[in-house]
Amino acid sequence: MRVVEFDGAAVKRQKKIGAGKILVVFYDRPPHVVTPEEWATRAVNRYYSGDVRRRDVVRQPQHV
């Protein structure tokens, strides 16, 4: 399973919203607008085995 991360946070989706702007929607953070250069340098693909649940990978533990 592949999970895209941006600055260490799992990305739910990303969408080009205009010239030089990408809207990055996270699982556990508010959306963020970045430039294509920022996306290219700070986005990382992480690969996990098939027996790992996506929910366990993308959700950050909530501190009580």
Digit-coded pLDDT (tens) for 5-27:
999 999 999 999 988 999 999 99
The answer as to whether 63 is a domain residue is no
What's the maximum distance between 2 C-alpha atoms anywhere in the chain? Answer: 41
Q: Are 11 and 28 in contact (CB under 8 A)?
A: no
Q: Are 12 and 27 in contact (CB under 8 A)?
A: yes
pLDDT single digits (tens) 21-58 = 999 999 999 999 999 999 999 999 999 998 988 888 88
Q: Which residues are paired to 42 by β-bridges?
A: none
The answer as to whether 64 is a domain residue is no
Tokens of 5: 């991360």
What pTM was computed for the model?
0.83
Instruction: For residue 39, give the 3-state DSSP assignment.
Output: helix
pLDDT at residue 14 in the model: 96
The answer as to whether 44 is a domain residue is yes
Domain interval for residue 14 = 2-58
pLDDT at residue 64 in the model: 47
Tokens of 61: 């533990």
The count of domains in the chain is 1
